[in-house]
Structure 1
Amino acid sequence: MEVDGEHGGYRPQGLIARLLWLASGILLLVITGLVLYATFARYFFAAAPIWSEDVPRVLFIWLTFLAAPVAILAGLNIRVGLVIERLPPRAAKASEVAMHLVVLAMLGVLFWWSLPILRLRWGGTMMTTGWTNAVFILPLTLGCVAMAAAQTVLLVKALRR
């Protein structure tokens, strides 16, 4: 990721990061439009669509897990840099590598335990849309894989330094 000096934002590097960034932006616009439509229908026509709560919630979950790998690559994850900055270079590198390994382990656990929930939810359907209930868990499962890939990129960069 690079900081865009003109706009003050981030520009993702790489095709996958750009696609995730674009998909996240599109989902944000779609969610906004759906919530505005549902609110308008509720207050002006007293007839909100039956799906008006479920669809934006599902899309928001997808948005979160699509944007997370891009945020990881941009270095926007929370960490206490004050301690690492005061360590000697070798200790700082070891600490950073350890942090990446801990995050990868956590993502592995999340992925592993999301699989039985995904299988369980796959059998049911949402009453409001007819979609499988798995749409609530699938982004977590796929997001763990994408976040692990992004975290691995950062781990490799840390090891090369």
Structure 2
Amino acid sequence: MKKFLALMEKTFAFLSMAGIGLMLIIIFLQVVSRYFFHYTASYSEELSRYLFVWVTFLSLPVVSRQGGHMVVGLLTERFTGERLRRLKIAGCLCSIAFLAVMVWQGIRMVQLAVWQTSPAMEIPMSYMYISIPLGCGGMLLLALEELFDLVRRRETA
């Protein structure tokens, strides 16, 4: 499981960086073509917006695995030992519940958007919405891993 999650993290990190690079190129070309040629491709703004959504959701598991999400330090600094472990378990359970709902509702959004097309590129909107269950699903797996590690830590202590 650890190898799979490490591979998922590397893949999502690569795709996020590639998405940011592609966004940068698209926006740069859009500005240059508008400024010098007084022409803007109709798809460029829409594509960069959809890439931004993909980068956002694919980055969630990467940042989560590296411990980069916000933490309420007021609580974590007050507790130590077993109390801190229990607080982290409660946080993991809340995250798992939230992420499970996000994956479930994300899948529903994908199913609803299959027949809806984007205005400029005329591609199914489900291509954009699939980033929600993918990113939240990856984060859900990482939250489950963290929960198992916290529970296992109690058994070995």
| 1:26-41 to 2 correspondences below 5 Å | 26-41=18-33
Q: Find 2:56's aligned residue among 60, 64, 68.
A: 64
Q: Secondary structure at the match of 2:44?
A: coil
Q: Secondary structure at the match of 1:52?
A: helix
The answer (yes or no) to whether the contact 2:60–2:136 under 8 Å persists in 1 is no
Q: 1:110 maps to what in 2?
A: 102
After TM superposition, give the deviation of residue 159 of structure 1 in Å.
2.1
The answer (yes or no) to whether the contact 1:58–1:135 under 8 Å persists in 2 is no
Matched, 1:42 2:41: no
Q: Secondary structure at the match of 1:122?
A: coil
Measure the CA separation in 1 of the matches of 2:57 and 2:119.
24
Point out where structure 2 has 5 or more consecutive residues left out of the alignment. none
Q: 1:6 maps to what in 2?
A: none
After TM superposition, give the deviation of residue 34 of structure 1 in Å.
0.4
Alpha-carbon RMSD across the aligned residues, in angstroms, is 1.5
Matched, 1:146 2:133: no
Measure the CA separation in 1 of the matches of 2:36 and 2:65.
43
The answer (yes or no) to whether the contact 1:17–1:70 under 8 Å persists in 2 is yes
Q: 1:19 maps to what in 2?
A: 11
Q: Find 2:89's aligned residue among 89, 94, 97.
A: 97
Cα deviation digits, residues 66-124 of structure 1 (max 9, x gap): 11101111011111133223214111100001101101100111122223322121102
The answer (yes or no) to whether the contact 1:73–1:154 under 8 Å persists in 2 is no
Larger RCO: 1 or 2 (CA < 8 Å, sep 6+) = 2
Point out where structure 1 has 5 or more consecutive residues left out of the alignment. 1-12
What is the TM-score when the length of structure 2 is the normalising length? 0.88
After TM superposition, give the deviation of residue 21 of structure 1 in Å.
1.1
Q: 1:5 maps to what in 2?
A: none
Count of residue pairs brought into register by the alignment: 149
Higher helix share: 2
Q: Find 1:124's aligned residue among 116, 127, 146.
A: 116
After TM superposition, give the deviation of residue 17 of structure 1 in Å.
1.2
